[in-house]
Amino acid sequence: MQGTCGQGACHPVIGARIHSSLMTTAVGLVGSSRPAFGEGATEQPMGALWADPRPSPADAYTRRLCGGCHLGTRRANRDDAIVTAGSGCSACHLASAAGHPVTVAQPEDRACAGCHSRSGRVSLGYAGWAERTDGTPCEDPLPWADGRTFCAQPADVHHAAGLDCVDCHTHNALMGSGRPARRQADEVEIRCQACHGASWPAAPFEPAEDAFLADRLPRKGITLDGPVRRGVRGTPLWNLRAVGDGWVLPRKADGAPFPVPATPEDAAHQQPGHERLSCQACHTPLIPTCAECHVRFDPAGEQWDFGPAAVVAGRWVESGDGFASAPPTLAVNGADRIVPAAPGMILTVDASAAGGQVTRRRWFGSFDPHTTQRQARRCEGCHQDPVALGLGAGALSWRDGEWVFTPAHPDPAAPGAGRDRWVTWAQTEPGRSLKAGVRSLDRAERDRVLTVGRCLACHRDGAAEPYRRWPEPLVRRDAPCVPMW
């Protein structure tokens, strides 16, 4: 990139910063595979994996199945989902146009979808699509360039309103800040409260705080002469403008204004006991899931390796129970906030034929699937839902003064538990996650959730009087109503 877009007369600052971006290094992706395979953690970037003449089983798997979504790849060595895109800067800034390629300052969502239609599938969820291979009937099937077929579901409320990915995501988060990042959480700056929080701080823009914007905005004829809000790491949210007593978000592509309503200070948003909930915990109705995954190495096969950009001996084979889109499980992150999660790997890896070991993992991962809806989940969707509690699909019923869970997919090796679970009913310690600081609800938290679930049998309105004075009503409850866990 230093010899093209990043050369001295063009974009040298961005050309240097892009090498710290996770879209270039993929450090988090590389580091996730090794623990799953029972190998030691690593901080290596994808480029180092490519150059390794003797990759470990985990690194070989990552190089072959994940190495094509990486800004350092050449166009002839790309993943089949993004083979039509360019590489380097052009992977994002090349517009879809007939004839000669056209470069654009504002990337189209199509550019994001090439890579982000995999793994967390956030581009799919945002645009109103889901990858389903679980036998569920598919509405309005959409064929994809790599042979997959997507099914329609409600689009994220921001996409439905007409906003693009770059309207929320900042230049530092996308093109790198110059500071090394290990995980996406180290780069993503935007928060719901940055736009919708009435008390999110704002201050005048100083050119010295962001040289890129100080140079770029005047070229677009934009002057920041009012209060400016910032992302969590300080990047000015220049397209969020104070207008009267509120805020307006002009779309970056064309300046079309989008009024940004503040989160109401009503009973639903000030519910006692909900202080730890993230916005996504309630406003995320669907998340991509894959209940069980199996990985094995077939030494008799062959496969494309993105390292040497050639077909090599041996093949990593994945199989599973099928992709779906379903309500999320609740997790607790490192900041002690309740966030959505999905099976990050209920996984069996057999790498013995590649010189590795056989490992089994039951880890979930938390992420924002970008399926936000204005309507929040119903109270029962958390307080009476075994999936939300991490137990897996099934039924919760109240029998003889206690909750009873019946799994939809029983695990023969764990009576009473589901194969798709994060935790068992009696498990006291929380379930694990590959992400640092992330865990399932523990037993005490699950019991508190279900206490409210029992009350919902009579007090169905979440804004009803008992919940506004919670937990006081528990002291005055009728003895047969609910146990005091």
pLDDT in tens, 321-336: 888 999 999 999 999 9
Q: Which spans in 187-284 are helix H?
A: 192-196, 211-219, 279-283
pLDDT band at 97 (very low <50, low <70, confident <90, very high): low
Answer yes or no: is pLDDT of 108 > 60. yes
- Name the band, by pLDDT with cuts 50, 70 and 90, for residue 88: confident
Question: Is the separation of the CB atoms in 94 and 102 below 8 Å?
Answer: yes
DSSP-assigned letter for residue 117: T
Taking residues 380-392, report their average pLDDT: 97
SS3 of the chain: helix, strand, coil, percent, to 5: 25, 25, 50
Q: Mean pLDDT, to the nearest integer, of 259-281?
A: 93
How confident is the model over 456-481, as pLDDT tens digits? 888 877 666 777 777 777 766 665 56
Nearest Cα neighbor of 374 from 481, 261, 270, 293 is 261
Separation of alpha carbons 7 and 1, rounded Å: 8
Residue 299: strand, helix, or coil: strand
pLDDT digits (tens, 9 = 90+) for 412-458: 999 999 999 999 999 999 999 988 899 999 999 999 999 999 888 88
Cβ 161 vs Cβ 3: under 8 Å: no
Show Cβ contacts of residue 173 under 8 Å, excluding neighbours closer than 6 positions.
187, 188, 189, 190, 231, 235
Q: Among 74-78, 398-402, 435-439, which stretch is predicted with the lowest mean pLDDT?
A: 74-78
Predicted confidence (pLDDT) per residue in 191-248, tens digit: 999 999 989 999 999 999 998 999 889 988 898 888 999 999 999 999 999 999 899 9
Tokens of 229: 């809000």
Contacts 24+ apart (CB under 8 A), 442-450: 444/485, 445/332, 446/389, 446/390, 447/485, 448/273, 448/485, 449/382, 449/383, 449/388, 449/389, 450/383, 450/384, 450/389, 450/396, 450/403, 450/485
CA atoms within 13 A on the CB side of 312: 19
In the structure encoding, which two tokens stand for residue 354, read together? 């590649």
- Residue carrying structure tokens 């009696």: 426
* pLDDT score at 434: 85
Instruction: Please enumerate in sequence order all residues whose Cβ is within 8 A of that of 443, keeping only pairs 6 or more positions apart, or say none.
Output: 426, 427, 428
Q: For the residues 316-325, what does the mean pLDDT come to?
A: 89
Average pLDDT, the chain: 89
Which token pair is 174? 């996308």
Can you give the pLDDT at residue 78? 64
User: How large a percentage of the chain has pLDDT more than 70?
Assistant: 94
Distant-in-sequence contacts of 70-73, Cβ < 8 A, 24+ apart: 70/23, 70/24, 70/26, 70/46, 70/306, 71/18, 71/21, 71/23, 71/24, 72/24, 72/46, 72/47, 73/306
- The full set of domain ranges for the chain reads 269-366, 380-475
> Do 471 and 482 meet the contact criterion of CB atoms below 8 Å apart?
no
485 confidence band (pLDDT: 50, 70, 90): very low
pLDDT reading at 259 higher than 60: yes
Mean pLDDT of 364-387: 96
Query: How many other β-carbons are positioned within 10 Å of the β-carbon of residue 406?
Result: 12
Torsion angle defined by CA atoms of residues 252, 258, 261 and 263, in that order, rounded to the nearest 10 degrees: -40
- Give tens-digit pLDDT for 122-174: 999 999 999 988 888 888 899 988 888 999 999 999 999 999 999 999 999 99
Spatial neighbors of 379 by CB under 8 A, at least 6 apart, are 452, 456, 460, 462
Handedness of CA 360, 362, 368, 372 (dihedral sign): positive
User: Is pLDDT above 70 for 104?
Assistant: yes
pLDDT for position 463? 61
Q: How far apart are CA 432 and CA 422, in angstroms?
A: 8
pLDDT range class, residue 395, cuts 50, 70, 90: very high
Per-residue pLDDT at 481? 64
Give yes or no for a contact between 364 and 433, defined as CB atoms under 8 angstroms apart.
yes
- d(C-alpha 10, C-alpha 380), whole Å: 55
pLDDT band at 283 (very low <50, low <70, confident <90, very high): very high
Distances (CA, A) of 474 to 301, 403, 456, 469, 471: 62, 17, 13, 10, 6
The pLDDT of residue 83: 55
Cβ-Cβ contacts under 8 Å for 46 (sequence gap 6 or more): 25, 26, 27, 29, 30, 62, 67, 70, 72
Residue 80 has pLDDT above 60, yes or no: no
What is the reported pTM? 0.92
Whether 125 and 135 have beta carbons less than 8 Å apart is answered as no
Q: Per the omega criterion (within 30 degrees of 0), is the bond before 471 cis? A: yes
